[in-house]
Amino acid sequence: MNERSGVEFGFEKLEVWQKAVALATTLYSVTKSFPREELFGLTMQLRRAGVSVPANIAEGNSRSSGKEKAHFLQIAYGSLCEIATMLQIAALQGLVSAETNEHVRVEISDLCRMLSGLRRASLGKKE
């Protein structure tokens, strides 16, 4: 990450967290072109859900029990599903190009896969 100070937290080393921050940044860029009437609709909801993903990964990483970690990872996963849904609606409304929609959906799919693996590992489950 470019804008960090010299202090680094453990969760910042996680690839899944780094990718989640990149997704949130992408969502901010994508929603900049949304019409003003969507400011309190899809724009804010996509941004909030986007920020929720790395925030819940970070919070989960701070928990000592596997069950607690898994809980926050599940919330992050749910936020990814929300983003996929809202992005699809934005694409159907002509607010997002099919190409952008597909690119972000690939990012979401990768993050879902990573979170599922991390969640299983935190619960001590074998694949």
Domain map of the chain by residue range? 11-122
pTM of the full structure = 0.90
Provide the percentage of residues in the chain whose pLDDT is more than 70.
Answer: 94
Mean pLDDT of 95-99: 96
> What mean pLDDT value characterizes the chain?
93
Categorize the per-residue pLDDT at 91 as very low, low, confident or very high, splitting at 50, 70 and 90.
Answer: very high
What average pLDDT does range 53-76 have in this prediction? 95
| DSSP per-residue string spanning the chain | -TT--S---GGGG-HHHHHHHHHHHHHHHHHTTS-GGGIIIIIHHHHHHHHHHHHHHHHHHT-SSHHHHHHHHHHHHHHHHHHHHHHHHHHHTTSS-HHHHHHHHHHHHHHHHHHHHHHHHHTT---
Higher pLDDT, 26 or 125: 26
- The band of 56, judged by pLDDT with boundaries at 50, 70 and 90, is very high
Q: Looking at the domain 11-122, which fold is it? A: de novo design (two linked rop proteins) (1.20.1440)
Tell me: pLDDT of 28 over 60. yes
